[in-house]
Homo-oligomer: A and B are copies of this chain.
Amino acid sequence: MRDVAVIGIGITKFGELWERSFRDIGIEAGIKAIGDSGISGADIDALYIGNMSAGAFVNQEHVASLIADYVGLAQTSHVPATRIEAAGASGAVAFREAFLSIASGMHDIVVVGGAEKMTDIGDELANSVQAMAIDQEWETVFGATYASLHAMMARAHMERYGTTREQLAMVSVINHRHGALNPDAQFRREINIDTVLRSGMVADPLRVFDMCPLSDGAATVVLASADIAEKFTDKPVKIKGIGQASDTISLHDRRDITTMDATVYAAKRAYDMAGIKPEDVDFAEVYDSSTISEIMAIEDLGFFDKGKGGKAAEDEKIALGGEIPVNTSGGLKSRGHPVGATGVAQIVEIVKQLRGEADKRQVEGAKIGLAHAIGGTGGTAVVSILEAMR
């Protein structure tokens, strides 16, 4: 396989962007990334789009064709344009497919966009769309929701490992602290443990501030074969390892609901490919759709022993300045979570850090970064490991 590098990044502000359309934000992120990379439209060989549910959110499927058209590539170079859907991992899986298309030798320069417009329909309908990521016939029909399944994971984790309500809250506190430093984040104010504990109950023990928001937003990265990357940028970032894995779509079919095996397998594949161990990772963007989700992730990725994730949050080991800063972007909780965009937005943050362009949230001496995305409650996971090429 050929080596592949990220040569450009672009992202919109995340939030409730009521004055912007799906295609509008997709184009903004795309144009920023193309500008950042120094390529021209004619250099682009293919386009990959991560998107969960434009069909339900904005009544539009076939969105890769739509984006190719509206960025002006459909009628000029007629690039292959491919849409990937894997719920919350859509952007991350699109990133992997783009990687494979270059690694194979089929393409040299490929653009990967992730986009979602979630706030044009009401909250209730948006929640029912999100529920399409879990098993409709064996979960949703019986009243399970995305949040209630996370609550079950939280309860089990608390019971088995002694994880505390306050430790869960600290995940949110740290992510808000980071997000306050990110100009593109949806929520930019710091909170404290009381903010979380006094917020409305969603699904016991999880409260509003334990859960990520609904968001609009888009992110784009430009990939190139590593051997030509330095023609376009003096700060190429190599994709050192990438792993994807599946697990049962239903939570009740898992062997253990305090571990996401999809994360464990995806991470093993990525570490093996990169030839590194968890302790070699300097910082990470992980999937904090809920606070318990982040705690399980930092354990399943091997950063902390199983059951020690809560304590790691309490001790601020995952905060900027800590042992392994996690979600310096603010994560899903504070940066926001436009579902299909998240996996690509994570790569944008990793690349900013590796380039030394993360400003007030810069991780000192960042050499190796890891991105981790989840679909549903863990039916899909993708882990990507990136390293500055120089």
Residues of A participating in the B interface, judged by any CB pair closer than 8 Å: 1, 21, 23, 46-47, 52-53, 55-56, 58-66, 68-69, 73-75, 78-87, 93, 96-97, 100-101, 103-106, 129, 132-137, 140, 244-250, 253-255, 261-262, 265, 375-376, 379-380
Contacts A82-B84, A249-B69, A379-B74 given: A56-B58 contact, CB under 8 Å? Answer: no
Having A59-B136, A62-B380, one finds 16 other A-B pairs with CB under 8 Å, namely A55-B55, A62-B249, A62-B379, A63-B85, A64-B86, A69-B249, A75-B253, A75-B255, A78-B245, A78-B262, A80-B96, A81-B86, A81-B380, A82-B84, A83-B85, A103-B104
Contacts A60-B132, A106-B103 given: A65-B85 contact, CB under 8 Å? Answer: no
Contact B61 A132 (CB under 8 A): yes
Q: Which residue of B lies closest to A73 (CB)?
A: B246
Chain B nearest CB, measured from A96 CB (Å): 8
Contact A65 B106 (CB under 8 A): no
Q: Which residue of B lies closest to A63 (CB)?
A: B85
Chain B residues in 8 Å Cβ range of A73 = 246
13 residue pairs A–B, Cβ–Cβ below 8 Å: A55-B56, A58-B136, A65-B86, A65-B87, A65-B376, A65-B379, A66-B135, A69-B247, A74-B379, A78-B246, A78-B247, A79-B246, A80-B245
Please report the C-alpha to C-alpha distance between residue A81 and residue B380 in the assembled complex, in whole angstroms: 7
Chain B residues in 8 Å Cβ range of A245 = 78-80
Chain B residues in 8 Å Cβ range of A78 = 245-247, 261-262, 265
Interface centre among A1, A96, A100 (most CB of B within 10 A): A100
Please report the C-alpha to C-alpha distance between residue A105 and residue B101 in the assembled complex, in whole angstroms: 11
Chain B nearest CB, measured from A3 CB (Å): 12
Please report the C-alpha to C-alpha distance between residue A78 and residue B136 in the assembled complex, in whole angstroms: 21
Contact B1 A106 (CB under 8 A): yes
Please report the C-alpha to C-alpha distance between residue A21 and residue B380 in the assembled complex, in whole angstroms: 22
List 8 tightest A-B contacts by C-beta distance, closest first.
Answer: A65-B379, A104-B104, A80-B244, A61-B132, A78-B265, A62-B87, A78-B245, A68-B246
Number of copies: 2
Q: Which residue of B lies closest to A2 (CB)?
A: B104
Chain B nearest CB, measured from A240 CB (Å): 15
Contact B247 A74 (CB under 8 A): yes
Chain B nearest CB, measured from A245 CB (Å): 4
User: A62: which of B59, B81, B106, B133 is its contact (CB, 8 Å)?
Assistant: B133
Interface centre among A93, A136, A254 (most CB of B within 10 A): A136
Chain B residues in 8 Å Cβ range of A63 = 85
Contact A82 B86 (CB under 8 A): yes
Please report the C-alpha to C-alpha distance between residue A80 and residue B255 in the assembled complex, in whole angstroms: 19
Q: Which residue of B lies closest to A135 (CB)?
A: B66
Chain B residues in 8 Å Cβ range of A96 = 80
Q: Which residue of B lies closest to A64 (CB)?
A: B86
Chain B residues in 8 Å Cβ range of A59 = 132, 136, 140
Contact A82 B244 (CB under 8 A): yes
Contact B265 A65 (CB under 8 A): no
Chain B nearest CB, measured from A185 CB (Å): 26
